[in-house]
Chain A
Amino acid sequence: MAFWNDRHTRGVLYQVAALGGVILVGGILVSNTMDNLARQNIATGFRFLTREAGFGISEHLVDYSPADTYLRALYVGLLNTLRIALSGIALATLLGIVVGFARLSSNWLVARLASVYVEVTRNVPVLLHLFFWYAVVTQAFPSPGAALEPITGFFLSNRGVAISWPGLGVPTLDGFNFRGGAVLSPELSALLIGIAIYTSGFIAETVRGGILSVPKGQLEAARSMGLTGWQVLRFVTMPLALRAIVPGTTNQYLNLAKNSALAVAIGYPDFVSVANTTINQTGQAIEGVAMIMAAYLTLSLLISAFMNWYNRHVALIGERS
């Protein structure tokens, strides 16, 4: 029998051919791009990463000054992206759970209000959420000189929120801005509120759907066994509902992480913002875009991996694989 008649061999052959094709096409694209860039005298490579960035970044979780390298600037941007993604996920989950339950409330008004919330937040584009909250934060509050101080050591102004914080001291007005204390900038606040509220509408629906998916019989059985309302929720509804909620929420977390890239529209220095500036100052668009893609791919895969692990954790014993 000739080897190409063997089913197994043929299978291997097809796969190898497909892989070869992909590598080939990829290789041609890369080599053509490099040729074109070289012909136009456009610089390529990642050497620029070790050069001085020269631009300022307003929010940095690690030390940064314009004298640092592009690599450092991008690292600062990456940390800012992680910061907004994680805090956004936490806040959206909290709001989503509250609203999801509220929609199922037997109180008519609470249920109505929750539906309105869900419809309004889900149906307004996320960019408009951001512009709206940014306008609210920057226009509704007074200048730092006339900052509101509803609680001692808690200042609200169009420069954001400044709070006394152990170790960071008490905020004091010094020249143009507050010094000391913990500061939440208008950009970060607007971004956090905007994407968390937007995403919470979707999460609320997932939560509601998950709870409704629990068969009525299970609840009746639980109640007839004498469990209290809280016990039913804790031991019957939630374990069953979570199986439906977790996969849907994973999608929302991934969306939130990707939507955080809209930060650039309202001036929060996330990874995309810093990478865009880097692209523009160095002219190395392909390298910059590749880094943006790699960063978001990694972030998404990490979120997925974590949620898959959690999903297996909440799955029924018999369904675990």
Chain B
Amino acid sequence: MSRNVIVWAVVIIVSAVGGALIQGQIDQKSAPVAAKSEPKSAPAATTPAAPAQTAATGGTLDAVRQRGSVLCGVNTGLAGFGIADSQGKWTGLDVDICRGVAAAVLGDAEKVKYTPLTTQQRFTALQSKEIDILSRNTTWTLGRDTSLGLNFVGITFFDGQGFMVRTASKVTNAKSLNGATVCVQPGTTTELNLADFFRSNNMKFQPVVIESLQELTGAFVAGRCDAMTTDISGLVSIRATQAKPDDFLVLPDVISKEPLGPVVRHGDDQWFDIVKWTIFAMIEAEEKGITSANVEQMKSSEDPAIKRLLGVTAGNGEALGLKEDWAANVIKLVGNYGESYDRNIKAQLGLERGINNLWTKGGLVYAPPVR
């Protein structure tokens, strides 16, 4: 009896001590890593103004520099936003954000590795550090911005949700969809707005929920659903890639706000800033009339704001932890916001600027002062 007690006591003590030791080792192991990354990420710490804000979990900038590429999560294939051609070359407005960040950080817009992600995979891929930026027609919502541990960087496209139907169905507005079967992708804001819309209008619907966009579109085209719903830009893109686009009609109703933009992880303020100001630099460049074609001449402009943007007057680069020509590289290698919009959204989908025009031209696109 007493012998058993001794055995148990020994076992418990040994496992407790062992556990504490192992746990201690793990803690110790993670501590030096965090400590090491801090001095390194403080870029050329010559002035006290250099950013000291790199959080313990940060270090994305260092990782990108060491790796020599930006890991970018994109759509599996949505013309205008993110799509690969037969040579594996990615294009799109969302793709251009990643190319812009690569130009700002590495001076080369092609140093991007793309990971195509479905609606369901995208947030986990970012949380688990498989990617540095998620740039994939993702709607900014409170929940995603907080409890998912993510930060929305800004808005690169102001969108709204709509419906697409078969032209032959003679349906011309969303209110006449009572009782319809609707094709929708899971894990989207779309899925929730759809339910909200029908609920608030006292109408009934049957969802058909399929994860792969290709399978879902196939089901809609085959007639499984009376309507398909997603962001209007997405509908226009899907319609444009059909064999007979005229067989399908995007209804005029807009049932939600879908501000789309890139996302980064919580806890790395410096990286958050870099992505954010890359977008603002593209917008500012359009406002100031700087394009990929004229950026070199513009360097000799007398406008102090242009001089600061292009790094002729130093300061911005250092504040971000980048070289002073960061924005000039973004504009030279990717172009300003309007150039990217025109070659992707306008050329491929035929969508006019509308509310995505500059604030000076009646739109919502606006950048804070780049100084």
A binds B: yes
Q: Which residues of A come within 8 Å of B, CB atoms?
A: 3, 6, 9, 12-13, 16-17, 20-21, 23-24, 27-28, 31-32, 37, 39-43, 54-58, 65-67, 131, 134-135, 138-139, 143, 158-159, 174-177, 179, 186-187, 264-267, 269, 273, 276-277, 279-283, 285
* CB-based nearest B residue for A277: B186
Q: Is A264's CB under 8 angstroms from B211's CB? A: yes
Partner of B191, one of A31, A266, A277, A279: A277
B45 contacts A by Cβ under 8 Å: no
Contacts of B267 in A (CB 8 A): 39-41
B215 contacts A by Cβ under 8 Å: yes
Q: Is B57's CB under 8 angstroms from A39's CB? A: yes
Q: Is B208's CB under 8 angstroms from A187's CB? A: yes
Cα-based distance from A144 to B239 in the complex (angstroms): 23
Partner of A276, one of B19, B148, B211: B211
Q: Which residues of B come within 8 Å of A, CB atoms?
A: 3-4, 6-8, 11-12, 14-15, 18-19, 22-23, 26, 57, 119-120, 123-124, 127, 143-144, 146-149, 177-181, 186-188, 191-192, 194-196, 198-199, 205-212, 215-216, 218-219, 222-224, 226, 265-267
Q: Is B191's CB under 8 angstroms from A55's CB? A: yes
Q: Is B11's CB under 8 angstroms from A16's CB? A: yes
Contacts of B206 in A (CB 8 A): 56, 58, 177
Q: Is B212's CB under 8 angstroms from A12's CB? A: no
Q: Is A21's CB under 8 angstroms from B147's CB? A: no
Can you list 23 A-B contacts with CB-CB less than 8 angstroms, sorted by A residue number? A9-B7, A17-B15, A28-B22, A28-B26, A37-B149, A39-B57, A54-B196, A56-B198, A56-B207, A57-B207, A58-B206, A58-B209, A66-B196, A139-B222, A175-B179, A179-B179, A186-B224, A267-B209, A267-B216, A269-B209, A273-B186, A280-B123, A282-B147
Q: Is A55's CB under 8 angstroms from B146's CB? A: no
Q: Is A281's CB under 8 angstroms from B266's CB? A: no
Contacts of A143 in B (CB 8 A): 223
Contacts of B198 in A (CB 8 A): 56
Cα-based distance from A37 to B12 in the complex (angstroms): 29
Q: Is A158's CB under 8 angstroms from B222's CB? A: yes
Cα-based distance from A37 to B23 in the complex (angstroms): 17
A56 CB → nearest B CB, Å: 4
A210 CB → nearest B CB, Å: 39
